[in-house]
Amino acid sequence: MGLCLLVGRNLGRLDSISVQAYSLYSQGMTYREVSHALGIKKDQVKYRVVKYARLTGSPYPLPKRKYNGAYLYALYKNGMSVKDISSLMSLHKDKVYLRVKKYCESQDLPNPFVDRRPAFAYKLRTEQGLSYLIIAKIAGFSDKSSCYRAIKRHETKLKNK
């Protein structure tokens, strides 16, 4: 009961925006997202969250950053485009590529951004002897000349190894 009185007394000094800011921030939203939702500046959001936490004795919430490679990799593997991930997480597309690449290297996973069509097309050409037009249709190239160039680049890469 004493806690209720303490909180009730302190809430008199808090405005509704501070309560809303703390609530949204503790649910995992970033300062930027809270500022857009409430229509106030980002600095004001931080001030109001800290003010609420201090006056009510609530823990200062620190949401987990979801910018780690595992989370970004999972979003990409579940069908989200890099453009959508970057806008959702407020990251540049290059950061998304880099963090997913580092995560894949640390977990010994294949990099999902590497185009594996040239190796597949090369294998079809050498083992099956298919024409470039047929390989282009199977492997998803736009035309036979782009398929031909991809196979030739892959051949030179194999010879240089």
Q: What are the tens digits of pLDDT across the range 42-89? A: 889 888 888 888 888 777 665 455 567 888 888 888 888 888 888 777
Cβ-contact 127, 141 below 8 angstroms = no
Model confidence band, residue 145 (pLDDT cutoffs 50, 70, 90): very high
Give the span between the Cα atoms of 153 and 156, in whole angstroms.
Answer: 5
Under 8 Å between Cβ of 128 and 139: no
State how far the alpha carbon of 123 is from the alpha carbons of 126, 130, 131, 155, in Å: 5, 10, 12, 10
Question: What's the predicted TM-score (pTM) here?
Answer: 0.45
